Structure 1
């Protein structure tokens, strides 16, 4: 028999069998781009979902602890402080287009003295927004705001007190308690509770946008120096709520002002 000799047919070498440096660079760049995209996606998920979930759970637990302490009488707090003039606050000014606010109650204020820094000591309730959040002394990001708390500006009035009680909160991420602050309208109520009192404020005006340096919005008689048409001109008992605007930026500040309607001992 005739022996068959196997024939091996060698195909033509592919153009990119031996990858050139340019091809390797392109391949490596594509892998890095995909990896970076995954990392960025995970970062966005962490910021927009996980930080909110974590902070909202922590804030909810803190509200529950405060309510239990108050119910059980475990948080007596510091003694009430009298108003500066000893007679209660004068009637606030009327903002442009607003209605005359109700003067705060006369006699002694029942607001506590300044609590320790970073301590949650009050609860903010805004029915229109369905918001219930703890309030801590100070506005530090790590110690207060990133926990989903609302921060009380140091050196401003305490809840129910004469002057301007100023609060800040995140609008996006980390619990975002002030996400929908722009939805508040004149006449809406805002409630601040402490171990000793329940202060109810009525929204009077909103400053949709101002610069971060517009510090007079936190003054005892709050007003805007950037937008002079916004603010008050007479002493009173005010509440100022501030957050960043537009959403997902910190370029400007959104400000909501309210005036004290009642301050009742608990």
Structure 2
């Protein structure tokens, strides 16, 4: 009986195969860990970071508005004292220097500030009671400077809150704060509030477009109506709110659209 001899070259080849297999396994494990960390970063860390930042911005806006209101109240007391004395009218027919400027929306309805926010500036707070949502509204829809910070972005070129026309905004549905994660839960009759420095505007959800193309620009026109699904939208001018986000979840293939109409305006004293 012959005993097979194991050559040194055979042992070396087997050792190389084992090293290659071990190195490949290590690379696969490392790649899996990196992918897992990326998923955790996208789905958890960006949400936590953006939500915390958005909440801090809402609180900062509310403090800013509250401080401005306190200052206005102090000015009113001083103005009353001046009016009871030598008089606020200097005989020139001009308003006193401390008189507040008149505001309007440029359309003659006087329901919104005429001041245009700077790009990426947070200037309003959007509240949706059904979703327990409170989020800043910033000018523009830049991912880096607005949406990825957990804010809702105002489509530049559409109207401002309370104005005649369409106040249209967008927000992430997944990651980066995902303020519109549950936008599909809204129903007809739900309330959406937009608070600014000067007033709180309440819109009532009226129509919902479950899915449309990302290029369907008709949904944010002054009189919103879908270009791809013309059965959805409005026929007459009004004061509209449009909320848009991606659908289905974790994709950006389509857009979900929720529309509402202005039903009340509460100016701040």
The answer to whether structure 1 residue 45 and structure 2 residue 45 are counterparts is no
The answer to whether structure 1 residue 149 and structure 2 residue 151 are counterparts is yes
Length, aligned pairs only: 234
CA distance in 1, matches of 2:15, 2:208: 63
**2:112–2:160: 8 Å Cα contact kept in structure 1?**
no
Q: Hey, what does 2:225 align to over in structure 1?
A: 223
**2:43–2:175: 8 Å Cα contact kept in structure 1?**
yes
Q: Hey, what does 1:8 align to over in structure 2?
A: none
> Which TM-score applies when normalising by structure 2?
0.82
| Structure 2 stretches lacking a partner, 5+ long | 1-5, 73-99
The answer to whether structure 1 residue 25 and structure 2 residue 20 are counterparts is yes
The answer to whether structure 1 residue 164 and structure 2 residue 187 are counterparts is no
CA distance in 2, matches of 1:116, 1:182: 30
Q: Hey, what does 1:119 align to over in structure 2?
A: 121
The answer to whether structure 1 residue 36 and structure 2 residue 31 are counterparts is yes
CA distance in 1, matches of 2:155, 2:236: 21
| RMSD of aligned Cα (Å) | 2.2
In the TM superposition, residue 248 of structure 1 has moved relative to its aligned partner by 0.5
> Which TM-score applies when normalising by structure 1?
0.83
* Structure number with higher relative contact order (C-alpha < 8 Å, ≥ 6 residues apart): 1
Q: Hey, what does 2:49 align to over in structure 1?
A: 54
The answer to whether structure 1 residue 255 and structure 2 residue 257 are counterparts is yes
CA distance in 2, matches of 1:16, 1:174: 54
Given the alignment, which residue of 83, 87, 104 partners 1:81?
104
**1:111–1:161: 8 Å Cα contact kept in structure 2?**
no
- Deviation per CA, 1:213-260: give whole Å up to 9, x if none: 000100000000101110001000000000001000111000000000
**1:83–1:109: 8 Å Cα contact kept in structure 2?**
no
- Deviation per CA, 1:19-59: give whole Å up to 9, x if none: 34433322221111000000000000011000000000000
CA distance in 1, matches of 2:231, 2:174: 28
Alignment of 1:184-195 (within 5 A): 184-195=186-197
Larger helix proportion of the pair: 2
CA distance in 1, matches of 2:101, 2:36: 47
Q: Hey, what does 1:242 align to over in structure 2?
A: 244
In the TM superposition, residue 114 of structure 1 has moved relative to its aligned partner by 1.6
The answer to whether structure 1 residue 68 and structure 2 residue 91 are counterparts is no
Three-state SS of the structure 1 residue aligned to 2:14 is coil
| Structure 1 stretches lacking a partner, 5+ long | 1-11, 87-106
Q: Hey, what does 1:3 align to over in structure 2?
A: none
**1:78–1:113: 8 Å Cα contact kept in structure 2?**
no
In the TM superposition, residue 182 of structure 1 has moved relative to its aligned partner by 0.3
